[in-house]
Amino acid sequence: MRLAGKVAIVTGGTKGLGHSVAQAFAKEGCRVVCAARRPDERGELPPLGAGDLAHHPVDVRDPGSVDALMRATYETYGRLDVVVANAGLSRPGPAERLTPEDWSDVIATNLNGTFLTVRSAIPYVERDGGGRIITLSSALATRVARGSSAYAASKAGIEALTRVVAVELAGRPVTVNCLSPGFVDEGMGRELARNEALWSYYGGKIAQGRAGRADEIAEAALFLAGDASSYVNGHVLEVNGGLSW
Ligand SMILES: NC(=O)c1ccc[n+]([C@@H]2O[C@H](COP(=O)([O-])OP(=O)(O)OC[C@H]3O[C@@H](n4cnc5c(N)ncnc54)[C@H](OP(=O)(O)O)[C@@H]3O)[C@@H](O)[C@H]2O)c1
């Protein structure tokens, strides 16, 4: 039980990678709030306090909504140890045709949403013995793929934000790290992993020759959330099967 007695929030925890991370945390003894704009599609998540995995609404683009999520979680469970800023979206398209609205959607959700989540989490996770903040990047933060301008820019910003906040908090009992998945057969990566034309182009760049599984990403998140990573700080952990680009 690597997270016994702990409480976590996973934004975007209602589906995709976030839900896999939430399930993995719960299996290790953690109570997890899966926060997103909508409840999960399966209708399995009860409200706060009613189960090890619960749902609470949040829009990570809205500072008041993010603050309310942190406050409600702390008031319900009496502690908050781990916050995973996972909520994200992608709007692919060449920069010259990408609308300002699409660009703004991606930056508001991925970059601003991560900033708002990290900022709001700090006063809670540093209480009660300290804690962990984990952000989500992508292999595309540091590799060039046509059509990924907004997404790649948002993820590069998240990596920079993570490093800076880790240093700013280094004297306090909080670590801030970033998880950077490659191509995963889950969530927004599923379409790519199952699209033959795309896969024939990108698949060859993965040394292990296959897409990642959600449980492999969740295992890396568990490492960053638990005691085993106590001396890991400001790090971007790539989990991508050996991606050479
Ligand atoms: N899957 C991959 O291959 C892959 C690879 C690299 C990085 N990543 C990163 O991993 C993270 C999760 O990706 P995924 O593939 O699991 O995506 P996904 O299946 O599309 O799930 C995205 C989650 O984010 C939530 N969300 C979106 N906008 C939100 C908002 N404004 N406020 C609150 N929640 C919001 C969604 O719920 P609602 O829409 O109901 O709000 C949903 O729960 C993202 O940061 C993504 O960039 C994924």
> What is the pLDDT tens value at each position of the chain, 245 positions in all?
999 999 999 999 999 999 999 999 999 999 999 999 999 888 889 999 998 999 999 999 999 999 999 999 999 999 999 999 999 999 999 999 999 999 999 999 999 999 999 999 999 999 999 999 999 999 999 999 999 999 999 999 999 999 999 999 999 999 999 999 999 999 999 988 788 888 888 889 999 999 999 999 999 999 999 999 999 999 999 999 999 98
Whole-angstrom distance, CA of residue 110 vs CA of residue 138: 11
Q: Any idea what DSSP says for residue 213?
A: P
> Which residues surround ligand 1 with Cβ inside 6 Å?
11-12, 14-18, 36-38, 58-61, 86-89, 109, 113, 136, 138, 181, 183-184, 186-189
Q: Is 154 exposed, middle or buried (0-12, 13-18, 19+ CB in 10 A)?
A: buried
Query: What crossing angle do the helices spanning 149-168 and 113-125 adopt, rounded to 10°?
Result: 20
Which tokens belong to 214? 């959600």
Partners of 176 in the β-ladder: 133
Whole-angstrom distance, CA of residue 174 vs CA of residue 84: 13
Q: Which atom of ligand 1 has the smallest separation from the CA of 17?
A: 16
Partners of 9 in the β-ladder: 33, 83
Catalytic residue among 124, 151, 201, 202: 151
CATH architecture of 7-185+213-230: 3-Layer(aba) Sandwich (3.40)
Q: Is position 124 annotated as part of the catalytic site? A: no
Name the pTM for this structure.
0.98
